[in-house]
Amino acid sequence: MGPPGAGKSTLAAGLVAEHPDTHVVLPMDGFHLAQRELSRLGRSQRKGAPDTFDVDGYVSLLARVRSQPNRSVYAPRFDRHIEEPIANAIAIEPRHTTVITEGNYLLHNDGGWERVRPLLDECWYVDCEYPARIVRLIVRHIEHGRTGPQAAAWVHDVDEPNARLVRTARETADVIISSDDGRLAFPLPPDWRTPWW
């Protein structure tokens, strides 16, 4: 777990790449509510907040994975290109002895999220220095269609409030890892800055 842009997905993917036959990722992002439902609920401008996920579905799937190790269990995956979850896109199979779930709210203690931690053997917190994490987020949003000012505004108005909430549970993690290596391996678009920066 960790704040948006900290490197959780990258770390999880790296662990699976090292052990492709036995490790698999079950991402929390697959449990984003569909855009249509977010719009109906009036939450589309807060996408990524705790109440924009199907926490009951996530907890239920984690429980199934633990209780049915000898059966294939299918999990959803979030597609950033269409900004929607894709059902049954990840197969968690009996050969997968290590299931890595990653997301922002694994240690959140409200709104149903408090049921997640008892289903995990360990919870690692992935941290990153503020400037690098913000730049990662802005670049990510630009890559998926936002302009620089739109991306920066989303980070300021949505991602950072969520990050502050996530950070309140940092010290309850079993392990804290830093993903900040001081390198930015991509060019920044010329319009990425906005006045709040």
The answer to whether position 136 is within a domain reads: yes
Residue 98 lies in a domain: yes
Residue 195 placed within a domain: no
All residues at 6 or more sequence positions from 195 whose CB lies less than 8 Å from its CB, including other chains: none
Which domain, by its residues, includes 171?
8-178
Residue 192 belongs to some domain of the structure: no
Instruction: Please indicate, yes or no, if residue 184 is contained in any of the structural domains.
Output: no
CATH number at residue 137: 3.40.50.300
pLDDT (tens digit, 9 = 90+) per residue, 61-81? 999 999 999 999 999 999 988
The tally of domains found in the chain comes to 1
Per-residue pLDDT band at 179 (split at 50, 70, 90): confident
Grouping H, G, I as helix, E, B as strand and the rest as coil, residue 139 is helix
In a domain, 187, yes or no: no
Q: For residue 81, what pLDDT is reported?
A: 84
CA–CA separation, 25 and 102 (whole Å):
7
Residue-wise pLDDT for 112-156, tens only, equals 999 999 999 999 999 988 888 899 999 989 988 899 999 999 999
118 Cβ contact list (under 8 Å, min separation 6): none
